[in-house]
Amino acid sequence: MVQLMSVPEVAAGASEVLLAEWSVATGAEVSRGDVIAVAETDKAVVEVEAEFDGVVVGLLAQVGERVDVGAPLMLVGTGADLDRELAALLAEVGVSAPAAEPAAPAEPVVEPAAESARRFASPLARRLIEEAGLDLADITGTGPRGRVRKRDVERALADRAPAPAPAATTTSAPVPAPAPAPAAAAVAPAAPASGLSIEPHSRLRRSVAARLTQAKQEIPHFYLTRSARIDDLLALRAQVNEHAPVRVSVNDLVLRAVAVAHRAVPEANVVWSEEGMVQHTSVDVAVAVASERGLVTPVVRGVDQLSLSGLARQVGDYVGQANAGRLQQRDLEGGTITVTNLGMYGVEEFSAIINPPHSAILAVGAARPEPVVEGEPGEQRIEIRTVLRLVLSVDHRAIDGALAARWMASLVEALERPMTLLV
């Protein structure tokens, strides 16, 4: 029996994907859950998994093609189906218009005696290799049977010394541009003396720009600023890291404090929708990751239920997956709030744009020693304390000012009394 696999919705709200790479060829045996292709979405590069067990009897999309979500992607059947006409197979699964099957991934032509030296590579990887002037034999493949994939070429490019050609003429970008360069590029100054060059936007960069522009235009933002004295928090972190299997960062502790605040003020764990307010019971927090491919916000599930080392491990895994382009749809969905941290760059304070559909985003600055007033009235004194500045951007449709202020008070209390993060 032939089964049709359609293009899955690999990112929430995505209407199409760019097929970046096939990981299988016609005639290959696949099992449910095997990676069959790599697709680019507006948010990430995602591995597409097989939905059925069987033999690949038809690939219905070309590498580099934009394919609508729900469109036919692949036919899975038995070995006997390989001898049948593609049009008949498509008719069997209810697809009336026959589609031309893309050629199987090309392999280098070799003499039989050289079979052991054959190198396999995906079509996209071959194109990138040719454009970059690399030698396939010099690249180590990480795919099945040592197959060279896009990420292997990217790694080779990263290890290679920068080419002497001007940036404007470089053609070895790791991700192919899905559309022609903007019209402005055609009239941009091209003379080297001008000191100008144009690097085409990636799909991820365009998506981030469009999403945040829409958020700023449609979401009524307001902002709350608080400071937290975190000397006790830093002392607790030092003690935890003496025994934790995974190093815990200040940002990990902030994530846990956000979960504590959500438990204390559950009315803030909501998302606005036109139909009504969506109340979340699980504390799922997105963390902004400035990956090598662009800004992404994977969501950590059940932050209040994880140990500190488990939380740190999950965040570290997401960073690695984001850099490798391996985030899945489920990793980017859910939650009501994002945490973004620029403290490691020395930024003391900033406000961030809410990441739809979330109702808030917490901007975390650098922790700095500052003079603060301690003690009761009449016995006050100035002491040096480590101060962390926090700015909460809030969707006024979902959360009012007083509610946001209560939430911020709970957050600061959790940071200044860090033992509450352990219970």
Q: Report mean pLDDT in 10-residue bins for the chain, 423 residues.
A: 85 72 92 88 76 93 87 92 87 68 42 45 69 80 68 76 44 42 43 70 75 89 97 96 94 97 97 95 94 85 95 95 81 93 95 94 97 89 96 97 98 97 88
pLDDT for 147: 67
pLDDT for 291: 82
Residue range(s) of every CATH 3.30.559.10 domain in the chain: 205-422
**At which residue do the structure tokens 């292997």 appear?**
152
Q: Cα–Cα distances in Å, from 41 out to 46, 200, 286?
A: 7, 17, 18
212 sits in which H/E element:
helix 203-218
Please, which residues bridge with residue 291 across strands?
294
Burial of 233 (0-12, 13-18, 19+ CB in 10 A): buried
The rounded distance, in Å, linking the Cα atoms of 324 and 315 is 14
The rounded distance, in Å, linking the Cα atoms of 253 and 364 is 12
Q: Cα–Cα distances in Å, from 307 out to 234, 269, 288, 315?
A: 17, 21, 20, 12
Q: Which residues contact 125 (CB under 8 A, 6 or more apart)?
A: 21, 148, 149, 150, 152, 153
Classify 205-422 by CATH class: alpha beta
Residue range(s) of every CATH 2.40.50.100 domain in the chain: 3-92
The rounded distance, in Å, linking the Cα atoms of 101 and 44 is 26
> Is residue 297 left, alpha or beta, with left meaning phi > 0 and alpha meaning psi from -120 to 50?
beta
Q: Which residues contact 1 (CB under 8 A, 6 or more apart)?
A: 77, 78
What residue type is 112 in one-letter code?
P
Is omega for the bond preceding 357 within 30 degrees of 0, making it cis?
Answer: yes
Strands 270-271 and 221-229: unpaired
What residue type is 240 in one-letter code?
V
Farthest CA pair distance, the chain: 92
pLDDT for 172: 38
pLDDT for 107: 42
pLDDT for 11: 58
Which one, of 347, 358, 341, lies nearest residue 398 by Cα?
Answer: 358
The rounded distance, in Å, linking the Cα atoms of 420 and 410 is 11
Choosing from 201, 221, 280, 396, the catalytic residue is: 396
User: Could you tell me which CATH number the domain at 3-92 has?
Assistant: 2.40.50.100
358: annotated active-site residue: no
